[in-house]
Amino acid sequence: MALFDLDDTLTDRRAAFAAWAKEFTAAHGVPPRWLLDADEVLAGNRTEFFTEVKNQFPVPETAAQMRTQYRYRTAELVPYRPEVCEALRALSAGGWHLGVVTNGEPVAQTAKLATARLDGLVESVIVSGAYGIAKPNPVLFRLALEDLGAADDAETWMVGDNLSTDIAGAQTAGISTVWISHGCAERRGTRAQTRGGRCRGRRTLAPGRCPMKAPSAGVACLPAVLRSLTYIRAEADAGPKALRDATLRDAARWAFELTRDVPCATDGAHRADDLLDKGRGNCAAKAELLCAAFGELGYPARRVRWLYQLPGTPPEVALLPTPYDVHTAVEARVDGKWLLVDATHDPALAALGLTVAEWDTRTSICARPPRLAITCSATGFGAYFSGSRSATSAP
């Protein structure tokens, strides 16, 4: 199964916007450069975009009228891209079932599919406006899979350009992802300049641009990830309680997995903010990031620390002033229970029992909480170290 975003993924939204801007300039005298610059910032919020147009220029139509006219006119201006159609035909011939998951109004989005000659090449089209919810709500992605008749164990991918709505939403739904970066970030985990999940700066839409798997984007995704959690929580809060709980659990597990997969290194970042620059971090940085993610989802979270004894190997341990170190993890309160969640993940730490594989959001990572654990609200390490020097191995 393969799901695709529509705007700026299957269709060239920017080309359609540029054609519309040329017409709008001719009709109203609004500078085209102003329109293009405003689109870079407000592409995801057309209500605000046309409110700004109305505030800045003497256009006779209301913001709502301009938005409606824009929606349907740009659907007519979407260019036909034969290379995209051929790629979809090749996937179908290879046995892939194809679907589209897009935010927007159903009439306009389906019109874009027809204009771009894509409507006969996909088996399912899920448009957010028909359901009263929007990406990144994982429910939309699950609806697409149900529409395609996907089995529980089917290999499924989501392809999109927006980190917050396409990538975060699909991963929350348990779907593998491919990020179409449009050249806005380097492939090797450098910082992505984003606003609203979209990349700022020049965006090249040349066909054949190499897509990036979202996990490969690494730490560059983190700002968009935290923003997407806020959106997911807002969408979940508006739904039934059972669906809300399931959605938030999925999001919490996804946030955990992403944090866990950030490379672990004692010489890396010691704070979550520094993870963007260094691309790797120690347990303290990862715990701080995880606390922030849980907080965005409404789960109370706190860091916990405990002392453990380093193993006798490698031989460099003998050169350290003490064989003891402090490990940091997180406790999250889920359904009235504090669960231990440890996002440290590094094969070199396996001998210490710190390697973490999965978290089911219902039980602690460890079979038992660590002895001698202290929270960040405790007096501090000074009192602890001045007391008993006995240490416990990591759980």
Given pLDDT bands bounded at 50, 70 and 90, which one contains residue 258? Answer: confident
For 240-386, CATH number?
3.10.620
For the stretch 95-133, pLDDT in tens is: 999 999 999 888 899 999 999 999 999 999 999 988 888
Whether cis (ω within 30° of 0) applies to the bond prior to 207 is no
Look at residue 248 in the predicted model and tell me its pLDDT.
83
pLDDT of residue 255: 81
Residues of the chain with CATH 3.40.50.1000: 1-239
Kind and range of the H or E run holding 224? helix 222-237
Could you read off the pLDDT of 308-335 as tens digits, one per residue? 666 665 566 677 677 677 788 899 998 8
CATH superfamily of 1-239: HAD superfamily/HAD-like (3.40.50.1000)
Q: pLDDT for 3-14, tens place per residue?
A: 999 999 999 999
What long-range pairs does 275-278 form, CB within 8 A, spacing at least 24?
A: 275/219, 275/222, 276/191, 276/219, 276/220, 276/222, 276/223, 277/191
The DSSP code sequence of 245-313 is: HHHHHHHHHHHHHHHHTSPEEEEEESSGGGHHHHS-E-HHHHHHHHHHHHHHTT--EEEEEEEEEPPS-
Please compute the mean of the pLDDT values over residues 174-187 and round it to a whole number.
71
The span from the CA of 147 to the CA of 167, in Å, is 20
